[in-house]
Chains A and B, each alone.
Chain A
């Protein structure tokens, strides 16, 4: 390791999985015989704040888990930029994951594997062995009984991230030059039934926090979580199977976030 103590700060939406990235790296470093400390910042991310993970890898004992300036700063969402910009100086290497959000989906991987792609990418900049990181990740997911298919997708995302690291310099600009505007377009998903009376369901991913209440409350099991599309917190939004929908309006009435609307044509 060039630096004796490498300070890494990760910042993203609650639900994007920055804590998992830090945990895996922390465990890997321990296995590799390094000193390491990881401390999550449990702020109000569940209420829409930004989730932070402080990680340090060192050859020498580490005195204090937090730090003021990061050597590597990883930002995974626009809102994180304002939150963490004071943690960087001219020497800080900035990994802007925002530019890669769509990459996993382009490669037909579940959006949930985004953090493992970032893990692969970040590992390229750390004094840790890739294979060991991958092994630690596998162990962690197996303990959590993650289905084999998703584990496989996570591994692929990791490898994808490694490949992207080569192209990173293009993205490693100063924080100030990272666009703060929300890059994500927020289309409303509209589905209309073909039978009469016509029922229209509109789902707004910008508001959907993936709480699952509408799914639980729907009397005909017409709703399920999307496999592909994620909402404001990076978690799957609700999707409707319009053929099963009877237009009762229950989902709209119970959604705490006004994310779903039902229109039923008067017959």
Chain B
């Protein structure tokens, strides 16, 4: 079903055929519908493919500098505590250039919701290595596969953020292989913000057929490989 909060006149959206973002945003859309929060919410979009969602929802959106979506949205929340603020970013935006912003926001227990899309690379710029790139994964900047001796192992965001936050935090990892799980985690993360205090964070494992150069079957096979490295589930609940 098309979420009610989608702007139908802007469909089809601008994501590539088969892009995992479509599934994640659709799940977010159903949560917004279900909680009836379209007119209370504001969505912050990082630079990255996620910004293609700028006109997808009938919800206010903000677009800020690469990696700075977390502090921008935290600032919005401090100015308007009644607003429900959602920060959407990629793994490059959240775990590379914007990591310091993300960690400090988590450490301050800012009452905001961050949805981070992990597709193991910098998608919008053509598929360069990100902190989340799997060992031996071929990307534009690792043509022979990521050498983890030299460049480290995939970054485990939720696990690290869990150690920084207080008991009010909701931290989870979901995968678009199960859109219902994505929906459930996003709903809990938003409800946690609505209750008041804690930082809430959902990393969603996604597919990027364009940069992976995969068809539907290969995309989902690679997603399975990701799930071996990035363990799914709720890592912290209030």
Query: What residues make up the interface of A, taking CB atoms closer than 8 Å to B?
Result: 44, 46-48, 206-207, 209-213, 215-217, 232-233, 235, 252-259, 261
Contacts and interface: CB of A to CB of B under 8 A. Distances in A.
B216 A47 contact: no
A196 to B, nearest CB: 23
Interface string B212-227: 0001110110000000
A213 B12 contact: no
A216 B209 CA distance: 14
B21 to A, nearest CB: 7
B73 interface: no
22 contacts: A47-B14, A47-B15, A47-B52, A207-B11, A209-B17, A211-B209, A211-B216, A212-B215, A213-B220, A215-B216, A217-B216, A217-B220, A252-B1, A254-B179, A255-B22, A256-B20, A256-B21, A256-B22, A256-B23, A257-B17, A258-B3, A258-B11
A254 B23 contact: yes
Contact residues on B (Cβ < 8 Å of other chain), bracket: 20 to 34
B13 interface: yes
Contact of B179 (A215, A253, A257): A253
B15 A212 contact: no
A49 B70 CA distance: 30
Interface of B: 1-3, 6, 11-23, 26, 52, 176, 179-180, 209-210, 215-217, 219-220
B216 A256 contact: no
Contact of B2 (A209, A254, A258): A258
A48 B14 contact: yes
A48 B179 contact: no
Contacts of B17: 46, 209-211, 233, 235, 257
A254 B181 CA distance: 12
Contacts of B210: 46
A258 B1 contact: yes
Given A209-B12, A211-B209, A212-B216, A256 B18 contact: yes
A233 to B, nearest CB: 7
